[in-house]
A and B are shown apart, each in its own frame.
Chain A
Amino acid sequence: DVKVTQSSRYLVKRTGEKVFLECVQDMDHENMFWYRQDPGLGLRLIYFSYDVKMKEKGDIPEGYSVSREKKERFSLILESASTNQTSMYLCASSSPGQGGYGYTFGSGTRLTVV
């Protein structure tokens, strides 16, 4: 069963900490994405990557960075966590071509920054 795996379901971090959210896919997909989901705001794209070592800013990249050293792994980094980054974080992957095959999502990481 193909899947996208996010390393943690729940995470509690302190303000100012550097936080790593890990995402691994086993479908050999080129494209990977990080979204955050907040009530009333829907899903907002933070960063995405079309290939190893490539990254593109999404709609809300401020306060985040990403790393894609291997094709199957896409990491989201919160350089200095703040309370307004408390959210549900969703990783997704897809094969290339206009999003034509749909995304496969991980189960999400609910991050609380205190």
Chain B
Amino acid sequence: SQQGEEDPQALSIQEGENATMNCSYKTSINNLQWYRQNSGRGLVHLILIRSNEREKHSGRLRVTLDTSKKSSSLLITASRAADTASYFCATASSYGKLTFGQGTILTVHP
């Protein structure tokens, strides 16, 4: 069963712009994670935010979590062409097990 749902499904921007992706989920969570997948490859873990945290930063990434609205957002600032990838949110609601959304396809044009 899918827990997280990303919005938008696809996002196209110019290099230097910010990219914002949203994730909504249905049940209570222990943490929420974001992953990147380059075409045809495995997923790479980007950032984890725990249920008692509201915001977290890592380099050009900023993640927010609103547990009252059951939603999260991923902001990539000053996007680069190399950021072109699919981005997935995943929720951890039970011991060690993640449930993934369907992803947002981000295209950054040089």
Point out residues on A near B: beta carbons under 8 Å: 4, 31, 33, 35, 40-43, 45, 48, 50, 59, 88, 90, 92, 94, 96-108, 110
**Is B75 positioned at the interface, with any CB of A under 8 Å from its CB?**
no
Whether B96 contacts A31 by the Cβ 8 Å rule is: yes
Per the bound structure, the CA–CA distance linking A55 and B20 in Å amounts to: 37
**Chain B interface bracket (under 10, 10 to 19, 20 to 34, 35 or more):** 20 to 34
Whether B98 contacts A100 by the Cβ 8 Å rule is: no
Contacts of B98 in A (CB 8 A): 33, 45, 99, 103
Residue of A nearest to B42 (CB): A105
Per the bound structure, the CA–CA distance linking A8 and B98 in Å amounts to: 24
With contacts A42-B102, A43-B88 known, is A106 near B96, CB below 8 A?
no
| Interface-facing stretch out of B11-19, B43-51, B66-74, B76-84 | B43-51
Whether B97 contacts A45 by the Cβ 8 Å rule is: yes
Type the 1/0 row for B1-45, where 1 means its CB is closer than 8 Å to any CB of A.
110000000000000000000000000001101010000111111
Query: Could you jot down 19 A-B contacts, CB within 8 Å?
Result: A31-B96, A33-B97, A40-B102, A43-B88, A43-B100, A45-B98, A48-B96, A90-B43, A92-B43, A97-B96, A99-B96, A103-B35, A103-B90, A105-B35, A105-B42, A105-B43, A105-B44, A107-B41, A108-B40
**Is B64 positioned at the interface, with any CB of A under 8 Å from its CB?**
no
Contacts of A96 in B (CB 8 A): 95-96
Contacts of B90 in A (CB 8 A): 103
Which are the 5 A-B pairs with shortest beta-carbon distances? A99-B92, A105-B42, A102-B45, A42-B102, A43-B100
Whether B48 contacts A98 by the Cβ 8 Å rule is: no
Per the bound structure, the CA–CA distance linking A103 and B90 in Å amounts to: 10
Whether B101 contacts A42 by the Cβ 8 Å rule is: yes
Per the bound structure, the CA–CA distance linking A35 and B98 in Å amounts to: 10
Contacts of A101 in B (CB 8 A): 48
Contacts of A108 in B (CB 8 A): 40-42
Nearest CB of A to B102, in Å: 4
